[in-house]
Amino acid sequence: MKIQGKKIEGANEMFTVIPRASSADIVFKSRAVLDMEPFVIMCPPPQPPTRLLPGGNEVSNLKDPGYLQQSRNYAVQRLSWIVLTSLEATDGLEWEKVDLGDPSTWNNFRPELTEAGFSDVEINRIVGDCISVNALNEDKIEEARERFLLEAQEQNDE
């Protein structure tokens, strides 16, 4: 794909820098996840149970407590996978308690970061940046719009 002759390629990336007074700053690189299919293959979404209505019609019971709990667990697991997959862009990052091939380990990333000396605020920043690199919000759009308008004005002035 090209826009005005410039090839568009590569996922959005960002850096999260965690300062350390007693050692070098710690830098995480996160990259937008472009394909959710590997997650869906490993972790199919939960399906609600059905119930039979008078007259023989079957309907999904979206208020079933077991289904609601499965949906919450699925959302947490999905977020963990997105964070871990985004952080794969970090050079040299090795997890000891997380295996991307084993969904049962994905939620271990927070405890592992805690054991490595990261505070809750630092962990939330890392996770937040992973969410941010995968998202688009009004602030980002406005920033990009302002950059575009400034560049357009500079070109007109030349």
> What residue segments make up the domains of the chain, in order of their start?
2-157
**Which among 4, 28, 20 is positioned nearest to 126, based on CA atoms?**
28
pLDDT in tens, 96-123: 999 999 999 999 999 999 999 999 999 9
Q: What is the pTM of this model?
A: 0.82
Q: How many Cα atoms occupy the beta-carbon half-sphere of 110 within 13 Å?
A: 13
**Which among 135, 86, 132, 89 is positioned nearest to 106, based on CA atoms?**
86
The confidence band for 69, taking pLDDT boundaries of 50, 70 and 90, is very high
The DSSP call for residue 71 is H
Q: For residue 146, how many other CB atoms are within 10 A of its CB?
A: 10
Q: For residue 127, how many other CB atoms are within 10 A of its CB?
A: 21
pLDDT computed for residue 105 by the predictor:
97
Structural contact between residues 31 and 25, judged by C-beta atoms closer than 8 angstroms: no
Structural contact between residues 118 and 108, judged by C-beta atoms closer than 8 angstroms: no
CA–CA gap between residue 13 and residue 29 (Å, rounded)? 7
The confidence band for 156, taking pLDDT boundaries of 50, 70 and 90, is confident
- 56's tokens: 């023989």
Which whole number is the average pLDDT over 147-158?
78
